[in-house]
């Protein structure tokens, strides 16, 4: 039996698997599909800035088993595209073992990760919300502040990087720190809380286009200090020193800038962009390498024939679906379907203030405040989840190539 191997169980990988299974079922063909992921979870990574992480992981087997996809818990360490073999490190309860898995078609969907600079102390003393475990570590740290010894900067958080992720975590932090401060000494008078959002540019959230003024206003109304033209000299466990020599006392420093494609792309001798993403054609095939598809944050596709895909769940999910469908069709010598997406939206969560919803590549604001927040909640809590009832038909139906339309604005009490 032919073997379709998928590396990664995130948005691109999960939907590649579901789409490949769907297409096999449509064609009435058989092939083995195996998905490799280091953990048994599909992480709803976009929610890692939220305070409550309890529902942000989906059991991969609950989605894969009903559709006949094998799950291998392990970490792919090497891809040999000439002999079509992937090396995988698995962790048995008592020992590690190495497997060499042959494939007929490979879908690489191993995502991206935050890259920290070598600035002294950054690696050791900064938190992040890039992964579930990192978000959990930040959450536990904030909880522990309640019982930590009194010291300058105990309830101060400095968020470095004001892209969407930096803005989202910064807007959550005042309330989260206030909750910790409020329970710190039992006197009923909470200790003061300080949140600073820093960016090396002359404005915060510069990359967020038309949404920028709304974000700046929301941050100010939430009491977040904005620190621009920021330069960092070093970080330690109690704060940071800026490049001009000033010190900020802060127990919590959150790193939010610098994304890079997963390092498995380096095993492939093909064109890459500056983020290390492999260039793919409209069918999600890596140019010049046979039987290799690539989707999500490891892939650079032209999304509407012109604009490069954005490292986003918004693009990873359809890219995954097209990669899965086309991998199966290529296996059986059938025509493939080109990906083309004719819309782009961006909704940035602004914590208790609401959210800002922009449309188009220039990011024109179409909603803000509570109305945008209601739409963001639908995206984060419903739209991007796979069906979770273990129903094969529902899972396969959700893997259709029909593109979802842009998220609808939800009417709210104030707007209806
Ligand atoms: C806090 C935060 C907020 C975000 N907000 C948004 C948003 O509002 N909208 C939006 O569109 N995007 C958002 N994103 C970006 C979005 O999460 C990513 O672009 C998206 O997750 C990419 O999907 P992916 O499947 O390519 O990668 P991932 O979702 O990261 O999945 C990759 C998977 O591959 C696995 N893997 C990695 N290495 C290996 C290996 N060697 N072997 C096997 N498996 C491996 C990983 O464990 C993971 O399960 C946000 C990201 C963060 C961190």
The pLDDT of 120-131, averaged and rounded, is 98
Q: Is 260 exposed, middle or buried (0-12, 13-18, 19+ CB in 10 A)?
A: middle
Tell me which DSSP letter residue 9 carries: -
Residues with CB under 6 Å of ligand 1 are 7-13, 36-38, 43, 45-46, 48-49, 75-76, 109-111, 129-130, 164-165, 262, 264, 296-297, 311-314, 316
- Give the model's confidence band at 378: pLDDT under 50 very low, under 70 low, under 90 confident, else very high: very high
Taking a C-beta distance cutoff of 8 angstroms, is the pair 5, 36 a contact? Answer: yes
- Nearest alpha carbon, ligand 1 atom 24: 111
Other C-beta atoms lying within 10 Å of the C-beta of residue 364: 12
Probe residue for ligand 1, chosen from 9, 36, 44, 45 as the CB with the greatest number of ligand atoms within 8 Å: 45
Question: What is the arithmetic mean of pLDDT over 392-404?
Answer: 96
User: Residue 189 pLDDT more than 90?
Assistant: no
Q: What is the pLDDT of residue 413?
A: 53
Give pLDDT, residue 187.
67
10, 108, 315: residue to mutate for ligand 1 pocket, most atoms within 8 A of CB: 10
Instruction: Kindly provide the b/e burial profile for residues 220-259, where b requires at least 16 CB atoms within 10 angstroms of the residue's own CB.
Output: eebebebbeebebeebeebbbbbeeeeebebbbbbbbbeb
The residue whose CA is least distant from atom 38 of ligand 1 is: 110
Burial, 28: exposed, middle or buried (Cβ in 10 Å; 0-12, 13-18, 19+)? Answer: exposed
The pLDDT of residue 415 is above 50: no
Looking at the predicted structure, is the pLDDT value of residue 272 above 70?
Answer: yes
Atom of ligand 1 nearest to the CA of 380: 8
pLDDT score, position 376: 97
- The residue with tokens 């992921």 is 37
What's the CA gap between 74 and 39, in Å, rounded? 7
- Classify residue 258 as left (phi > 0), alpha (psi -120 to 50) or beta: left
For the chain, which domains are there?
3-113+259-344 (3.50.50.60), 116-255 (3.50.50.60)
Ligand 1 centroid to Cα of residue 259, in Å, is 11
Residue owning the nearest CA to atom 20 of ligand 1: 313
CA distance 106 to 84: 8
- The pLDDT of residue 8 is above 60: yes
* Confidence category of residue 111, pLDDT binned at 50, 70, 90: very high
């Amino acid at each position: 039996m032919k073997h379709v191997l998928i590396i990664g169980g995130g948005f691109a990988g999960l939907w590649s698997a579901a789409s490949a299974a769907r297409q096999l079922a449509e064609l009435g063909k058989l092939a083995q599909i195996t998905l490799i992921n280091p953990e048994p979870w599909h992480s709803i990574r976009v929610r890692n800035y939220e305070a409550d992480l309890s529902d942000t992981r989906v059991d991969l087997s609950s989605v894969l088993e009903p559709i006949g996809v094998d799950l291998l818990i392990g970490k792919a360490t090497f891809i040999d595209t000439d002999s079509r073999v992937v090396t995988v490190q698995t962790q048995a309860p008592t020992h590690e073992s190495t497997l060499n898995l042959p494939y007929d078609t490979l879908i690489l969907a191993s995502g991206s990760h935050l890259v920290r600079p070598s600035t002294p102390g950054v690696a050791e003393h900064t938190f992040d919300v890039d992964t579930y475990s990192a978000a959990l570590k930040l959450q536990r740290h904030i909880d522990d502040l309640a019982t930590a010894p009194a010291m300058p900067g105990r309830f101060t958080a400095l968020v470095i990087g004001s892209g969407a992720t930096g803005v989202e975590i910064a807007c959550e932090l005042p309330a989260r720190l206030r909750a910790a401060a409020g329970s710190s000494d039992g006197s009923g008078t909470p200790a003061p809380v300080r949140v600073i959002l820093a960016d090396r540019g002359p404005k915060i959230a510069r990359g967020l286009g038309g949404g920028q003024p709304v974000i700046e206003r929301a941050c100010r109304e939430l009491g977040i200090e904005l620190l621009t033209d920021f330069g960092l000299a070093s970080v330690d466990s109690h704060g940071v020193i800026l490049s001009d020599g000033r010190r900020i006392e802060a127990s919590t420093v959150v790193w939010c800038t610098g994304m890079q494609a997963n390092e498995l792309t380096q095993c492939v001798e093909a064109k890459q962009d500056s983020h290390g993403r492999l260039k793919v054609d409209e069918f999600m095939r890596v140019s010049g390498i046979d039987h290799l598809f690539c989707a999500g944050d490891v892939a650079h596709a032209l999304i509407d024939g012109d604009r490069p895909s954005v490292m986003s769940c918004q693009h990873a999910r359809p890219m995954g679906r097209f990669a899965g469908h086309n991998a199966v069709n290529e296996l059986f010598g059938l025509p493939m379907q080109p990906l083309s997406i004719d819309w782009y939206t961006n909704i940035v969560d602004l914590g208790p203030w609401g959210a800002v919803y922009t449309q188009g590549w220039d990011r024109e604001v179409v909603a803000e405040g509570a109305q945008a927040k209601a739409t963001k909640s639908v995206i984060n809590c419903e739209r991007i989840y796979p069906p979770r009832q273990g129903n094969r038909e529902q899972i396969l139906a959700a893997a259709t190539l029909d593109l979802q339309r842009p998220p609808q604005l939800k009417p709210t009490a104030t707007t209806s």
